[in-house]
Amino acid sequence: MNILKDTKINFIGKRYYAFVFSIILSLVGIIAAALIPLGKANLGIDFTGGVAIQLKFEKPFVLENARALLDKDGFEDTELQQFAENNRLLIRLKKAEGELKITSDKITAVFTKGFADNKFIIESTTAVGPTVGQKLQKDALWAVGISLLGILIYVAWRFELIFGIAAVVATFHDVLAVLGVFYVLNKEINLLIITALLTLAGYSLTDTVVVFDRIRENLRKRGKEVIEDIINRSINEVLSRTIVTSGTTLLVLISLLISGGEVIHDFSLALFLGVLVGTYSSIFVASPLLLLWKGKRGRLIR
Amino acid sequence: MSKNILWRFIVIAFFSLLAVVLFLPSTPISKSLPLWWKDKFPKIALGLDLQGGMHLVLQVDSEKAVENHIQRLIKGMEVVFKEKKIVFSEIKTQGSEVLISYQNADVKTSLEKAVGDNYPIFQKTSEKENSIAYALTDSETKRIKEWSTSQAIETIRNRIDKFGVTEPLIHAQGKNEIVVQLPGLKDPERAIALIGKTAVLEFKMLDEAGDLKKAMDGAGQIPEGDELLYEKRVDKETGAVRQTPYLIKKEAVLTGDLLTDARVAIDSQFNEPYVSITFDSQGARIFENITAQNINKRMAIILDGNVYSAPVIREKIGGGRAQISGSFTHETATDLAIVLRAGALPAPVKIIQNVTVGPSLGEDSIRAGIKAAIVGGILVLGFMLFYYKLSGLISDFAMILNIIMLLGAMAWFNATLTLPGIAGIVLTIGMGIDSNVLIFERIKEELKTGRTIRSAIDAGYDRAWWTIIDSHVTTLITAAVLFQFGSGPIKGFAVSLSIGILINLFTALVGTKVVFDFINQKRRMERLSI
């Protein structure tokens, strides 16, 4: 069975449209990335420091009532999120000052009094001091930087330097794109999301490497074809693989999105977006980038 | 069956069986397994996010540790000067420096010599007409800071051991941070109180001559050498807190360092718990002397700056025993005894990160994660079967092997499964399929060029080989970075992802190939179902 019969799509020919699209995506990502150190982005408390408490009530409750209770007691800055049969409440307070423990005790006390007829248990509490947050931010940046460097070195060693650079640019593009989408959707960016970003960097690269591998193979036995045609042919040759693999990975991620639970929902979403954009970028970003530097006599490989 | 194929089957069967043997004890089935099997094998540990528990990061106030250390040194210095008959007027701290002042300029040389001989860890920083300033050398300051962290770890470990938590994990992080992980913890509040207490026990005399009223009026009114401390008592019925102020002489007559034991006992008169402490011989001697000299005066028992009680000394107390009473519940008395026995922390600690997960959330997460894994797995296996027919079945078989071996390997390495870790396994299913897709698509291409089935299969595997290696290595790089930089749940994700990738290499390149070879050998295939 074949999804595609021999395709001859001119991907390279559409590269300028793709570049425009990609530059817009990346710009949004760069804006999001630039806002992070300024504290303007929706960062998780693991980066900003603060308190998060998850409560599970016996009965469903009305979110507005919870909101009103907290406002009354001076916790206007808290973010509330209600989920799972409307009896779970996640309370987040960023940049909490003073003793974190006292703050979280005060918040739970609000509900012990305010929802006296609806008992609850504390399912989880997270309290992060501001210095930890800054350290985690720095660690996350290092992690992204080092893995991109590792990837560049490996791909440059296995292929040629230009392949390595193209792969890293495409990977960076994907990370930025997902970051940008998260920023636009006002999703919280926390450690788990950074993990997802690094994972999708790995995935997107896998995809790019597969295409590059075929380009290299076809370059070696090239006849009179121009590079544009070789790249086009290579992408077309691996296209059904690309679609099947992305498809199966997306299937799995959809099941994680739907039934993986609240804790990893956004994590799965980031990976889902990452697979989409990673597949796109290996075709429309990484491969056309090779054309920018053809080397001596228009050859890409020695 | 050729020998070669037979061997490969044996290797695969061996590893699969081994994996099953390894991971079964980590599953709910373990209850019905024989004891030798259940207990002897390493198990997959559940992360705090799945089984509930507490993850704390504490910061040791190492500056304070240095300060405390300097205070102790000053006391020793006073003794040394007295022994050498060096007349000084005062030794006090000024910031991080020690300032020694004197009246008579003649003592300057002998004073400097005494400090140089006895305290080489001090460095002269400046001198004025009637005083010399010293500071600790940088290497000594660094040593004290390091010591304070390791000492704090030791003490906290001691306390937790006495508290009784299974498999606690306590280790240093960075220069002055301590990570404490307590899986399956039932009472986080109590654990925090127990770990975070500095537990400096001091016995100080009350300044009964001083004017308490004046002292409470405002700053500057406290007599020289005194301090104002409070006793907090919680009324057990109303919950109201009553504070009693005391004017207390700063100098401690005895401290908790000289304790040998602390136990909970019940007061027979009021039926209230109290903590009975026993001093070592030196402490007992000091205690006896003090009590003898201060009959009918009041002595305060102070823990971390809070007065617990301030009883009147009725008679000389020998035998080195004392009791700390204060409105205790049995629990708080027990915890106080634990911290006193384990000793004081060298400096206060601050909780800078606290992640506590209740067991119910963990259970829900496991259920959701496993459900997602099963649904995702079935979808992918079904798709492969539908799309690649018989070959898809073979890759499904490899996928199942992959998951079994992944679980087995995780048990073998005693790896920790976290919720993102489950996602990692699910993702491995998705990415693992990729290797087979690569190979199958390649075989299809080779078939189109008119090769025989057999050579198309061989060529498919050969050509896809490096692509698969390259794509796996790049993912491994990111997994390794995640492992290095991540903590807790994220480390768990990196572990399941990287083990999954490695095993996938094996099942994809060896596992499916052998099946193709076997089928091919049995009967020459006319058509490949792919």
Last residue of a domain, one of B305, B336, B356: B356
Does B352 share its domain with B379?
Answer: no
Distance from CA of B505 to the nearest CA of A (A): 14
Residue B185 lies in a domain: no
Question: B399 pLDDT band (50/70/90 cuts)?
Answer: confident
Does B388 share its domain with B445?
Answer: yes
Look at residue B189 in the predicted model and tell me its pLDDT.
83
Better-predicted residue by pLDDT, B362 or B180: B180
Q: Given a cut of 90, is residue A182 above it in pLDDT? A: yes
Which of A88, A105, A171, A249 is the best substitution to test chain B (most B C-beta atoms within 10 A)? A249
The C-alpha atoms of residue B284 and residue B259 are separated, in whole angstroms, by: 9
- Average pLDDT score over residue span A259-274: 88
User: Which range has highest mean pLDDT (A42-56, A78-92, B321-335, B374-388)?
Assistant: B374-388
CB-CB under 8 Å, A124 with B358:
yes
CB-CB under 8 Å, A127 with B353:
yes
Q: Given a cut of 60, is residue A297 above it in pLDDT? A: no
Residue A17 lies in a domain: yes
Which of A252, A253, A254, A275 is the best substitution to test chain B (most B C-beta atoms within 10 A)? A252
Question: B501 pLDDT band (50/70/90 cuts)?
Answer: confident
Q: Given a cut of 90, is residue B178 above it in pLDDT? A: yes
Whole-number Cα distances in Å, B266 to A261, B163, B237, B328: 49, 20, 20, 10
Who's near A131: CB < 8 A, 6+ residues apart? A49, B59, B352
Contacts of A155 in chain B (CB under 8 A): 470, 474
Tokens standing for residue B424? 């990692």
Distance from CA of B426 to the nearest CA of A (A): 7
Does B331 share its domain with B401?
Answer: no
Question: B1 pLDDT band (50/70/90 cuts)?
Answer: low
Does B368 share its domain with B339?
Answer: no
Does B319 share its domain with B385?
Answer: no
Residue B302 lies in a domain: yes
Nearest to B355 among A126, A217, A261 (CB): A126
- Residue B366's domain spans which residues? 3-47+359-522
Look at residue A19 in the predicted model and tell me its pLDDT.
92
Does A62 share its domain with A119?
Answer: yes
Does A71 share its domain with A190?
Answer: no
Residue B502 lies in a domain: yes
Which of A45, A210, A246 is the best substitution to test chain B (most B C-beta atoms within 10 A)? A210
**By CA distance, what is A97's nearest residue in B?**
B352
Look at residue A299 in the predicted model and tell me its pLDDT.
60
Largest interatomic CA distance in chain A: 81
3-class SS shares of chain A: helix, strand, coil, % to 5 = 65, 10, 25
CB-CB under 8 Å, A251 with B430:
yes
For residue A74, give the CATH number of its domain: 3.30.70.3400
CB-CB under 8 Å, B354 with A263:
no
Better-predicted residue by pLDDT, B335 or A5: B335
Does A27 share its domain with A93?
Answer: no
Whole-number Cα distances in Å, B294 to B61, B227, B231, B316: 36, 19, 21, 8
Residue B165 lies in a domain: no
- What are the pLDDT digits (tens) for A98-134? 677 788 888 888 888 888 888 888 888 888 887 777 8
Contact call for residues B34 and B404 (beta carbons, < 8 A): no
Look at residue A176 in the predicted model and tell me its pLDDT.
93
Does B485 share its domain with B414?
Answer: yes
Nearest to A271 among B365, B388, B427 (CB): B427
Question: How big is chain A, counted in residues?
Answer: 302
Residue A55 lies in a domain: yes
CB-CB under 8 Å, A251 with B383:
yes
Q: Given a cut of 80, is residue B166 above it in pLDDT? A: no
Q: Given a cut of 60, is residue A302 above it in pLDDT? A: no
For residue B382, give the CATH number of its domain: 1.20.1640.10
Residue B530 lies in a domain: no
Does A117 share its domain with A206?
Answer: no
- Average pLDDT score over residue span A253-280: 90
Last residue of a domain, one of A86, A104, A128: A128
The C-alpha atoms of residue A93 and residue A74 are separated, in whole angstroms, by: 12
**By CA distance, what is B438's nearest residue in A?**
A241
Does A224 share its domain with A94?
Answer: no
Contacts of B368 in chain A (CB under 8 A): 259-261
- Cβ of residue A90 closer than 8 Å to a chain B Cβ: no
Nearest to A139 among B376, B473, B485 (CB): B485
**By CA distance, what is B530's nearest residue in A?**
A1
- Average pLDDT score over residue span B118-138: 87
Nearest to A123 among B358, B372, B389 (CB): B358
Residue A173 lies in a domain: yes
Residue A6 lies in a domain: no
Does B328 share its domain with B377?
Answer: no
Residue B245 lies in a domain: yes
Looking at the structure of chain B, the number of domains it has is 3
Does A54 share its domain with A35?
Answer: no
Does A68 share its domain with A180?
Answer: no
For residue B267, give the CATH number of its domain: 3.30.1360.200
Residue B288 lies in a domain: yes
Query: CA neighbours within 13 Å on the CB side: how many for B351?
Result: 27
Conformation bin of residue B343: beta by default, left when phi > 0, alpha when psi is -120 to 50:
left
Last residue of a domain, one of B308, B332, B356: B356
Look at residue B452 in the predicted model and tell me its pLDDT.
87
For residue A267, give the CATH number of its domain: 1.20.1640.10
**By CA distance, what is A238's nearest residue in B?**
B441
Does A58 share its domain with A38?
Answer: no
Nearest to B426 among A154, A245, A256 (CB): A256
Which of B427, B469, B529, B530 is the best substitution to test chain A (most A C-beta atoms within 10 A)? B427
Does B491 share its domain with B517?
Answer: yes
Q: Given a cut of 60, is residue A296 above it in pLDDT? A: no
- What are the pLDDT digits (tens) for B28-69? 777 777 877 877 788 888 888 888 889 999 999 988 888 888
Q: Looking at the predicted complex, does its ipTM rise above 0.85? A: no
Nearest to A199 among B429, B445, B478 (CB): B478
Does A250 share its domain with A279?
Answer: yes
Does A82 share its domain with A196?
Answer: no
- What are the pLDDT digits (tens) for A168-180? 899 999 999 999 9
Q: Which residue reads 């309370």 in tokens?
A: A91
Nearest to A210 among B429, B467, B473 (CB): B467
Distance from CA of A147 to the nearest CA of B (A): 5
Mean pLDDT of chain B: 85
Closest CA to A146 of A126, A119, A128, A168: A168
- Cβ of residue A121 closer than 8 Å to a chain B Cβ: yes
Residue A5 lies in a domain: no
Any idea which of B15-19, B20-24, B326-330 has the lowest mean pLDDT?
B326-330
Question: B523 pLDDT band (50/70/90 cuts)?
Answer: low
Q: Given a cut of 90, is residue A20 above it in pLDDT? A: yes
Last residue of a domain, one of A77, A109, A128: A128
Look at residue A30 in the predicted model and tell me its pLDDT.
92
Contact call for residues B446 and B464 (beta carbons, < 8 A): no
Question: A147 pLDDT band (50/70/90 cuts)?
Answer: confident
Residue B464 lies in a domain: yes
Distance from CA of B449 to the nearest CA of A (A): 13
Residues 124-183 of A with CB under 8 A from B: 124-129, 131-132, 139-140, 142-143, 146-147, 150-151, 154-155, 158
- Residue A97's domain spans which residues? 50-128
Better-predicted residue by pLDDT, A299 or B442: B442
Does B245 share its domain with B352?
Answer: yes
Q: What letters, b where the CB count within 10 A reaches 16 and e where it falls short, cover B55-87?
A: bbbbbbbbebbbbbbbeebeeebeeebeeeebe
Looking at the structure of chain A, the number of domains it has is 2
Residues 47-86 of A with CB under 8 A from B: 54, 56
Last residue of a domain, one of A109, A128, A147: A128
Does A150 share its domain with A247?
Answer: yes
Percent of chain B with pLDDT over 90: 12
Which of A138, A255, A272 is the best substitution to test chain B (most B C-beta atoms within 10 A)? A255
Last residue of a domain, one of B333, B356, B379: B356
Does B288 share its domain with B250?
Answer: yes
Contacts of B193 in chain A (CB under 8 A): none
Does B208 share its domain with B307?
Answer: yes
Does A187 share its domain with A283?
Answer: yes
Does B42 share its domain with B92?
Answer: no
CB-CB under 8 Å, B356 with A154:
no
